[in-house]
Structure 1
Amino acid sequence: MSLIHPTLLLLVSLLQVTGQEKWCGKHYIPGQPVVEPGGVYPTPQKFPEHEPLLLFRCTPKYHPFIHGDDNTASILIDLAITHTQMNGTAPFPGETKHDVENAKFLVTLSTDHIPVLAAKVMPLGRHQKVTFPLVTMVPQKKPHKLSCTARRVDHGSSRADSPSQSSVHTAHTTLSYQLPNNNGSMVKIDSETRGLQFRATNKEWYRIIPYGFYTAFDDYLAKNLSVLDAAVGNWHNMVHPVPTFGNLTALELVLDRMEELGLWLMYDMRWSYKNLTALAEEVNRIKNRKNLLLWYTSDEPDGWGDDPNDARRAYDLINELDGYHPVSLVLNCQNYNFRPYTTGTADILLQDVYPIGINATHSTVYDTPCTPKFGDCGCDNCEGSGIVEVANRLDGIHQMLEWEGRPGVPVWSVVQAFGNQSFWSRYPTDREFVAQSLVGLIHGARGLVPWITPTTEDISSVSSKIGKALRLISYVILDPKAVFTMPSDNVPAEEYQNNGQSALTGDFGTPNLSPLRRGIWRVNNALSVVLASNLGDKAASFDVELPSNTTELGVFLNFGATQETTGDKQVKFTLDTLGSVGFIIFG
């Protein structure tokens, strides 16, 4: 089935029509010089074992808190020993290793310089929670200032009156506390799980993993509302209409039908976000939609080399006019000006690495080589390792967010669902589509938005299985009590807790080199969700030790997986090449 997508062809042709000379900071046209693109995120300094650093951060669990729904504010406190210098670290002298590892701190909080939490003794740990009542705070559009202080308690003493004045650590951020939106939906970001919570007018909050395709509008969706019914039938919960929106009457009909069907809206302003007048008109027209989930402004600004201030100004205006729905943008480059393009520009980041059907080292469009300093092969700095590129890109973004001091920012994955055009010689197979999706979830993506529909019948069919699976497991993945591990052949399991990030140090540690990617979410030793994909070129197996209280193992997703009972409370799964499996262990 050959589908040449006009929307994608438009984007590719714009490179030449607009005289675009660089992509991700690199020349790519024959005859252009090879120059250093710059913009690479600086690798943080590593300190020796005898020079520990204290990582101290405080982060509101929710953004925003809502007056009437939230009576207290929960704040996540990070107190961890690391040897990597990053945002939030400071020298932490200790007499002995025992003194360092068993240190305690007096933690205080204030908002707008008014104390809200008296001194509380806390040990080292990530995502420790403290709460304070919101009754004294005024709900408002402008975020409140949140200041946190941690004072070392001398020599492990738990006495609250003996802090060491020479070891005082501070952290500053903001806390959003708003009146409820009585005219439309509201969305919160949970910084602990990096998931979303959604509430329509006068309804309950519930946790969601958004899943739905970018959908061509003018030549497709605007002419056929049954596309939306098909999305619901495929268990998609969101649609991302791709502008231009040439017919506003048709757009209103589409959005009305989406509301009727209960489909969330990811509203795209890629062509208007730089024009603040046009942006304001769109925001005011859309913001009270009952199914509005989030805004989408800049599409691959790092690739195009757009001015980051454009996205920053758009972000500020959207929050001024709305403030109840997060703002998102998508990054295309592997590591190019990450800080400027993600600071003050968006609440949610997407990545759109497209690794299927490319030549990673030689451009099939421009007949030039692709290196870290030159070329465009459709997959920036990719190595030709297929779906592993998805895992690597997500890990890289999460690592940079950790170094930036923003680990709670949600990252979503754009799943490749196109081909037979430009750099991409073919469409993904159904198994490749599933593996991209599962690997995204395993490596921390909390939303999946495939580019683009219409697509092949095979991809459309298997997308329904992904959508149905997400309805089943999203509440477990987004449960704050869920403990995540990512077992690997070459990495200790404890090193891959917290989505590959050490629960103690915040470092990502040893790269996962195993072709077998697995993610396990356990809740109170009573329920486990397991996802696995084999990215290797031969079959791979793994054993599952069932807890003694197991009552059932239920497989909800199977593409090329076989199951074998190998002993009492032991099961072995074997995955074909690009095979995937998902199952739940009930206890």
Structure 2
Amino acid sequence: MIFSSVLFLAVSALFANVGLAQVAGTHTDLPRWCGKAYEPGSPSFDPTGESIPPPASPSQLLYVQVEPRYSIYVGSEITGSFIVDATLSKYFGSKYESLINGIPKLQELLFSIYVKGSVLPLVVNSVQVNSTDNLFDFPLHLLGSPQLEPYSITLSGVSLDGLQKFSATTEIFYLPEKSTGSVTKIDNLNGGLLFRGAGTNNEFQSVLPYGFYGDYSGYFEVNNSNVQAYYDQGFNVVHLVTSFVDGPLAPTLDYLDEIGLKFIYDMRGSFMNLTSVAYQVPLVKDYDSFLIYYTGDEPDGWEYALNSTTLAYNLITSLDKYHPVSLVLNCQDFYYEDYAAGADIVLQDTYPIGINATYSIPFDTYCNFTHGDCGCDNCVGSLFDVSNRLDDLATYQEWLGEWRKPLWSVLQAFDGEGYWQRLPTDLETWVMALLSFNHGAKGITSWIYPSTNALDAAHGAIAKVVTKAPVEGFLTGAQPVKVNVEGLESLDIAYWSVGSQIMAIVASASYVDLRVDVTVELPFAVRAIESSPWGNVTWELVNGNLHTQGLAALATSIIILQT
């Protein structure tokens, strides 16, 4: 983002006045972005804050984790579920002996799951070593009565031969029923959201959010017909760039409730003022169309205090346990652990279109890993910058040893500010969107609406497909599995498996037509192509694999398959 030294000093004063601590990076007297000085003549130095993998163990480790299937349960629900992973890791867990006296041991683990204070197990079962995503149901009433505080959970187990013990802990929220407004929960298995509120008939329904950050004062506040026009384009969520402290907001939110358009509540300008946060949460939490909170807008770029997002998160979740908290990170790798600690959902806003990745035009100076701001931190100006950033954030989260957090993408739908010399095309927009889904994104909110008529329409076209059946069910109901096509590095392919059906997404980042036969070899036999909800690629089955004769530049395709 473009900004001035004066603005840098003003922002610095803001979080200093709030009494926050833990300053990010070094050379804090200099204007910096992502920890790097960016003015001409400023020094080059290590920005610090890089994520590093934990020390690797010299021996194989067994890492057992237990996590509730959903981030919260409410009083009207009857059945809960735990996810149990038993992975072989080089970073986390306890030593695992796969051989006993030279004989392979049985690869099965017996376990019980208890709630603190009870001798009655919630679950008694077993899992295979090096397996993940094992689901085990239990009656929620065994936890006790619904309450605002979490229940403490312990998993205890032993190898089938009885020689090795293991354990894991977690917490589960079993909340009192909410009688007013919406409820949003995270699916800890697949990373999607379940929403109960406007338009769901009081039932939890999966949702794949696709929409825009919205210009409120200049567009959406003007009249409700602008809100309706946005909704009619196919978007199911809007991120209004405003808050209750900026002026009247209730009339617009009332209209969102009326039409069933979900919204993200933005506290970018006030999340470090905890008094203001405490004022705003009660005003927003009971709207029927309220989806999630949003606090830090690129806190890593601005180098806000490292504990700023966590302080806001702790306060918000003490006042409202029924909605997740999100934020967006702009840097490739600048104190990820600290800033991401303040969110349930992490967004990334990589903007690679029309940049000069090595020279900052606004500041007339160079960019590299230790200096400069070129509008896209450590990017190369490729469509793959978007998917690479998602992969990076997933890796940092894995290195923490914590349960994975859902990731979303913020796509570029603008130009200017000195960094971005042109707008994305509609084809580039669709490639960036499908790259995001292929690399695990569970939502997309692009910057900023209204864009051009062409880009608004391009986003609306794909939103109408990915937010509805059958595509939405795959994106929220499973995790993507990557597929490589040898010799065609410009192709990005993934598939999702739900029941007997498979959905495959193909995105070509090549700016020239691929005039070769393309065969996608899947690790299973495909019986039939059921439908192609998106794209103009003609696919056929050859020996159980997907095949097409060439691909147009920047082609995108979604295919539903029967196995």
Q: TM-score when scaled to structure 1?
A: 0.85
Instruction: Tell me the residue number matched to 1:140.
Output: 147
| Distance across 1 between alignment mates of 2:541 and 2:68 | 46
Picking from 100, 105, 111, the partner of 1:107 is: 111
Post-superposition CA distance 1:245-271 (Å, at most 9, x none) = 67633x222111211221001000111
> Post-superposition shift, 1:100?
6.2
- SS in structure 2 at match of 1:114: coil
Instruction: State the Cα distance separating 1:62 from its structure 2 match.
Output: 0.5
Q: Distance in 2 between matches of 1:332 and 1:99?
A: 51
Closer/same/farther in 2, CA of residues 99 and 173 from structure 1, 3 Å limit:
farther
572 and 198 in structure 1: CA distance in 2 versus 1, 3 angstrom threshold: same
- Per the TM alignment, residue 135 of structure 1 is displaced from its structure 2 partner at its CA by 1.2
Which of 493, 506, 526 matches 1:532? 506
Superposed counterparts of 1:150-229, under 5 Å: 150-154=157-161, 163-164=162-163, 167-200=164-197, 203-229=202-228
**Cα distance in 1 between the residues matched to 2:336 and 2:105:** 33
One-letter amino acid of the counterpart of residue 373, structure 2: D
Q: Which residue of 1 aligns with 2:87?
A: 80
Alpha carbons 1:78, 1:126 under 8 Å: kept: yes
Change beyond 3 A, Cα 1:168–1:518: same
Picking from 542, 545, 551, the partner of 1:575 is 551
Q: Is the 8 Å Cα contact of residues 360 and 383 (structure 1) preserved in structure 2? A: yes
**2:344 pairs with 1:347:** yes
Q: Say if 1:483 and 1:200 are closer, same or farther in 2 by CA, change over 3 A.
A: closer
For residues 226 and 147 of structure 1, do their structure 2 counterparts lie closer, same or farther at Cα, with a shift above 3 Å needed? same
The verdict on how the C-alpha distance between 1:523 and 1:32 changes in structure 2, with shifts beyond 3 A counting, is same
Deviation at 1:312, TM superposition (A): 1.4
Structure 1 residue 35 corresponds to structure 2 residue 45: yes
Match of 1:542 among 498, 507, 518: 518
Structure 1 residues 15-24 or 125-134, which shifts more?
15-24
Does the 8 Å contact 1:195/1:208 carry over to 2? Answer: yes
Contact conserved, 1:534 with 1:580, CA < 8 A, in 2? Answer: yes
CA distance in 2, matches of 1:583, 1:333: 34
Alignment partner, residue 398 of structure 1: 394
State the shift of 1:562 in Å.
3.5
Aligned residue number for residue 519 of structure 1: 494
Q: Distance in 2 between matches of 1:564 and 1:311?
A: 47
Distance 1:236 1:118, change over 3 A: closer
Task: Give the CA deviation at 1:328.
Answer: 0.5
> For the residues of structure 1 that align with 2:543 and 2:169, how far apart are their CA atoms?
53
Q: In the TM superposition, what whole-angstrom CA distance separates every residue of 1:349-391 from its partner, at most 9, and x where no partner exists?
A: 101111111111111111111111111111111123x111111
Which position in structure 1 is the counterpart of 2:7? 14
3-state SS of 2:538 partner: strand
* 1:462 aligned to which of 450, 458, 483: 458
Partners of 2:376 and 2:302 in 1: CA distance: 14
After superposition, give the CA deviation of every residue in 1:319-372 in whole Å (9 maximum; x if it has no partner). 1211111011111111111111122x1111101111111111111111111111
Return the offset for 1:403: 2.2
Give the whole-Å Cα distance in 2 for the aligned partners of 1:548 and 1:375: 50
Offset of residue 549 of structure 1:
7.6
Q: Secondary structure at the match of 1:35?
A: coil
In 1: Cα distance, 2:489 partner to 2:102 partner = 35
Q: Which shows bigger deviation, 253-262 or 91-100?
A: 91-100
Q: Give the letter aligned to residue 391 of structure 2.
A: D
Match of residue 555 from structure 1:
532
Who is 2:69 aligned against?
Answer: 61
**Cα distance change on mapping 1:420 and 1:98 into 2, 3 Å:** farther
1:428–1:549 CA distance, 2 compared to 1 (3 A): closer
**Secondary structure of 1:312's aligned partner:** helix
Write the distance in 2 (CA, Å) between the matches of 1:46 and 1:150.
24
Deviation string, structure 1 residues 129-161 (Cα, Å, up to 9, x no partner): 22332213231111122222232232xxxxxxx
- C-alpha change, 1:348 and 1:365, in structure 2 (3 Å) is same
Alpha-carbon deviation of 1:102?
4.0
Give the Cα–Cα distance (whole angstroms) in 1 for the partners of residues 4 and 401 of structure 2.
33
Paired residue secondary structure (1:451) = strand
Number of equivalent positions: 535
Distance 1:569 1:171, change over 3 A: closer
Q: Report the CA distance between 1:99 and its aligned residue.
A: 6.0
Q: Please say if 1:252 is aligned against 2:250.
A: yes
Give the 3-state SS of the residue equivalent to 1:294 in structure 2. Answer: strand
Residue deviations 1:216-239 (CA, integer Å, cap 9, x gap): 111222113222112222110000
Following superposition, the deviation at residue 90 of structure 1 comes to 2.2
Q: 1:496: which partner in 2?
A: none
Contact preservation (8 Å) 2:426, 2:458: yes
- The worse-fitting range, judged by mean Cα deviation, of 19-28 and 425-434 is 19-28
What displacement does 1:400 show?
Answer: 1.7
Distance 1:229 1:279, change over 3 A: same
Alignment check: 8 A CA contact 1:218 1:244 kept? no
Task: Flag structure 2 segments of 5+ consecutive residues without an equivalent.
Answer: 13-29
Structure 2 Cα separation of the partners of residues 571 and 339 of structure 1: 40
Deviation at 1:196, TM superposition (A): 0.4
The structural deviation recorded for 1:174 is 1.4
Task: Give the direction of change, closer, same or farther, for the CA distance of 1:434–1:98 in structure 2 (3 Å limit).
Answer: farther
In the other structure, the counterpart of 1:95 is 99
Select 1:375's aligned residue among 358, 366, 372.
372
3-state DSSP of counterpart to 1:325: coil
Q: CA deviation at 1:580?
A: 1.0
Question: 469-478 or 104-113: which moved more?
Answer: 104-113
| Structure 2 letter corresponding to 1:374 | H
Q: How does 1:476-491 map to 2 (within 5 A)?
A: 476-479=474-477, 482=478, 484-489=480-485
TM-score when scaled to structure 2?
0.89
**CA offsets 1:46-93 (integer angstroms, 9 cap, x no match):** 446xx2111211111111011121x232111111113x214xx22212
How many angstroms does 1:490 deviate by?
Answer: 5.1
1:45 to 2:55 alignment: yes
In structure 2, distance between residues paired with 1:478 and 1:403 = 24
